[in-house]
Structure 1
Amino acid sequence: MTKRVILIRHGDLGEACSGRYIGRTNVPLSEGGKRQAAALAGELRRLNGVHLLCSPLRRTRQTAEIALGAVDVCDIDPDLREIDFGRWEGTGFTEIAASDPVVVERWAALDEDFTFPDGESLRDFGKRIGAVAGRIAADPAETVVAFTHGGVIRYLICRFLGLEDRHYLLFDIQPGSLTEISVEGGKGVLTRLNDRCHLEGG
């Protein structure tokens, strides 16, 4: 059976979070992010036989609740949470790049042994997302929809397409976007990437 896997990134978080590392930090959607979530409703109404999944973080739960009218229709999967940036949480990209360029280079190179200071290692993050991909592939539902985060979506694309994790940063996943993968036998074909057509004119 061919399965549709629809990956939804939470809505926008506003200017206060722009250009900053936001992983485990439990921030809410901005007003713009709430509008993006509302714009997803039309897309989701067309789906049948769906298993709904959601990260436990506030921004994804808000996105699901607004888009679906309720969040309790989703199964909360802790493994769908964003990577933990440790001490980098809430700090600006440029600030970290200026203060510790060598460490940033290791992260940008996706060194599997890299661990964010007091945070999560890329190896552990990869294992976590690999487990999610396995559960989604084995899910009996014809369509699986997951409300999650940019980093998670990028890694899931790599896992389903058989790409090495180092290709993670090649994919642009914007807030409120939909990405779709057609999965059969655990292998995927990317059919939509960073789709924001539902936001046009909104």
Structure 2
Amino acid sequence: MQRLFLVRHGPTHAKGMIGWTDLPADLSDTGALKRLDRFLPDDARVVSSDLIRTVETANAIERARKRLPHHPKLREMHFGDWENLGFEDVSATSPDHVRAFYEQPGDIAPPNGESWNQVRARVSATVDALLAEDPNDLIVVCHFGVVLSLLQRATGLQSYETFAQKIDNLSVTEVIIKDGNWNTGVINHCP
């Protein structure tokens, strides 16, 4: 049995579609970080995407855990031309496209960005490779979309239902993998 502990990075306070934009995390809530650190297993490996908000969050909970190199394939969804824009901004110029992107998540992508299915494939392949490297538990400090993609894999929810899930900053979503079967433990747990 292996466990994945999916930790969403600290808040950036940015509004809009923030995917590959490299914004720092607000890690001023040291109490939340300490509780998060105590909740996570001491013998787990820690990996993060290569974006600063996840790197900083991972560094804050790393302690003596084995730290793996930052992994660019664990990045948030790439919003392409919609990066840093709010839904209302995109709706002003592409109302049908942005509505379809959120209401029919799958193969619809922002211009010059990624579709939901592309994100899921990228993240799943990366996590599978990391799990195959070592039988110990894995803490993945990542992004909203990454957590949702793995949550969808574990629950079998449809994409639209998965998009509706709430995943708070500095929360933990646990996936338990036994005999090749993925199941959930805690979801959006804020220790």
Same fold (TM > 0.5): yes
**TM-score bin, normalised by smaller chain:** 0.7 to 0.9
The alignment's TM-score, normalised by the length of structure 1, stands at 0.83
Displacement after TM superposition at 1:90 (Å): 1.0
User: Which residue does 2:11 correspond to in 1?
Assistant: 12
Corresponding position: 1:144 with 2:138: yes
Which amino acid in the other structure matches residue 132 of structure 1? T
In angstroms, what is the RMSD of aligned CA positions?
A: 2.4
User: Which residue does 2:79 correspond to in 1?
Assistant: 85
Q: 1:56 to 1:67 in 2, by over 3 A?
A: same
Displacement after TM superposition at 1:156 (Å): 0.6
List runs of 5+ in structure 1 lacking aligned partners: none
List runs of 5+ in structure 2 lacking aligned partners: none
Corresponding position: 1:119 with 2:110: no
Would the aligned equivalents of 2:54 and 2:141 in 1 still touch at CA under 8 Å?
A: yes
Displacement after TM superposition at 1:171 (Å): 1.6
- Partner Cα distance (1:34, 1:25) in 2: 24
Q: 1:35 to 1:81 in 2, by over 3 A?
A: farther
**Deviating more after overlay: 133-142 vs 146-155:** 133-142
Displacement after TM superposition at 1:75 (Å): 2.9
- Provide Cα deviations, 1:38-97, integer angstroms capped at 9, x if missing partner: 5422223xx243122111100000001112248982332221110110111111222223
**Deviating more after overlay: 81-90 vs 104-113:** 104-113
- Provide Cα deviations, 1:171-202, integer angstroms capped at 9, x if missing partner: 21111101111111232221101111x3xxxx
- Number of residue pairs aligned between Structure 1 and Structure 2: 191
- Partner Cα distance (1:74, 1:39) in 2: 22
Displacement after TM superposition at 1:170 (Å): 2.7
